[in-house]
Structure 1
Amino acid sequence: MQPPNPRYQGYRSFDYLEPHADFKVFDLAPEIDRVPAYDLGLSAEQSARVSRLLTEHMAISLHEHPKVLTADVTLLRDYNRTGRNVLGYEGLARSGMTALFDNFMNGTNCVTSEHGWKWDDVIYDLGLRFADIAKQDFVVLARTVEEIEKAKAGGQLALVAGLEAATMIENELDRLDILYGFGVRQIGVAYSQANQLGSGLAERADAGLTNFGRRAVERMNRLGMAIDISHSGDRTCLEVIEHSAVPVFITHAGARAVWPTNRMKPDEVIRACAERGGVIGLEAAPHTTLSEEHREHSLESVMDHFTYCVDLVGIDHVAFGPDTNFGDHVGLHDSFTGHLSIGQAHGHVEHPRVPYVAGMENPAENFTNIVGWLVKHGYGDDDISKVIGGNILRVLKEVW
């Protein structure tokens, strides 16, 4: 974890409102020091190099959910029903990141329904988050590469709005334009369940990209909206890659050859993505990117997927999308397992259950530990620069 960014002046979500009178207040999880710090055993010289790399280069998370969860996860539904998700400004100020793709929590939002992916709930999520961001000047909404670069130059953190699935557009193609107009610059095709565009990875059969899905991919290309296939079925992934005129992202996943569940991507999909110029971001949500060598989920498990993917498709096509938040992520999964089809996606391969992913527990610590691991294992500055942000920027320059 890095020292606090001097641009951060202590703002907390919705400070412009009166607590209890204007919004319901919940006890929230700590943004920093919720779990013990992860010790990589770096020397003073190595630690200094980590700080230098994060200062000199772009560090971009391809997939996060930087909201702060309730301290008591059984209250998450009540919290989500308010529509007001607290953004972890304090934690982000210590992250060392230049930018992050915020994918909100649309699979668990329940403002108007007990089920996720509703259009009205997405609008609540986006609008309230953007209003909150507008009331401070540390986190800035980024819609172009130039705005990310400007944030870096000014010591700010760029937030790119993304959504994990296009389920909420239903059969309304123009809703993609509306989302783009609001500032959304990345969207997934399907979450684990199938939708109008294509199949999700939790379905028993994958019929591929639908005719409507093909039109949606074309519209996203025309808009300049990055496409994510992390939660799509294998056939759907391949057909999206083939049909898109520009590279696509696997924003948060791992290699099925390393850990055999549907949540991971097979070599065929990872290769196809890379061959068209795309990038895979390595996932770190609890009990996803495990490995035979490190079955107890930790930074080491995640990096087993990293080294495999680098060997498979090369250093230019690998990045990180840790998929973390502030609070009890395991408790979140337990609370919403039915809504998110977690059982079907993660499979039933036996592994130790952990209370959190050591070394990649939250957005505040992820990139310090990722860069620390890369430094410890002898990676050069150029390669580190590519995987922590350079590869993502290359794709964005073509897509946006």
Structure 2
Amino acid sequence: MTTLQEKDIEFISLRENFDTTTAMGKAMLRVALVFAQLEREQTAERIKDVFAWRAEKGLYNGGTRPFGYDSVSSELIPHKQEKKVIQFIFELFIKTKSTTIVANEGNSIGFRNRNGSLWDKRQIHKILNHPVYLGKIRWNGQVFPGVHQPLVSDSTFNQAQTIFAERKVHRESKSILGMLKGVLFCSECSHPMTPNYTKKRNGNIYRYYRCVSTLNPKEKTCLNKYFNMEKANETVIEKLLNCATEQQLQIITQQVELKNELINKQLLAIQSEIEGLEGVLTSIKSKKEKYLDSLISNQFVAKEREMINSKIDEFTIQEKQFKGSIMKQQFEYTEKEETLSSVETIKKELVFFKVNVKSLGTNALKKWLHVNVEKIDISKDGVLVKFKCVDFSV
């Protein structure tokens, strides 16, 4: 109905009491649509309630059958052959702590997934984390005790989860210092700089940012290969702290005001263009209405009616064209309006950074950078920080 209304088309039903050409007809249609929507939502709620009840009782709700089980009368029954594969996956993972090794070993033995394809580490990871193999049912983000037979013991499943938890902590401990990841770029070749580390013979770990172009031997060697991570982080923080000084804030304020002034001028021009187009559109609609009224109120020969209809079609085409032009200008206006910057917001963010930088953790600093900084170019001569909300670099 919304589509019909947008195109100024009315709806009359021959079988039902629907007629949108009258106020009462429109009201009746809206009431009918409301009740139809209510019925759909109530049906959906009842289905959800049934599924939730079944899950609480430990019953399988259907869907893709978990590998290792057969579905018999909506119940999960262990599959004799697939059960052995599941147990193999858990046992080997606990020994090797590697999903890749488990996948490769299983494939070399001849194990295949349900589609007859080779296993990969993502499928192995999914199985190792699925509570169904512990005899539980997962539904709507919650886990309930199931009535089906588990394929692994509690201790086996928990050992696998412990390994994943340890690996997660280890990954975070390695990557947490990569504060500039995602915003740091090489000024030499414009490639991103990615955090990396190497372990020295004495056991010390050296952390650094590496230009990703050096990872591809086919590309031309970049001059900015590596930068000490700690030094780069400190340099960027120092640059940002300098931005929060009174002198720099005044410069930023001037930059923002100049940028906003230019954008507002462009917005006024677009608005003027929209108003002009709307005026022409109103004129076209008025002319079209006059021709339509003449068809209704007067008698014409066939040739005259054909000419009038041709003129109406011409106005209809023009109407669509001008509506399209107006929508295009409105879209451009919205996009341009979103580029306006708030001086107070920028000041607030920089002052917040200055006051809290010492107490913020690395992840919080990384989040702040991704919100406020467009990119940071690094070279042997230093770093250049470009902000998102204003054309200003330091």
TM-score, length of structure 2 as denominator length: 0.17
Structure whose residues are more often helix by fraction = 2
Of the two structures, which has the highest relative contact order with CA contacts closer than 8 Å and spacing of 6 or more? 1
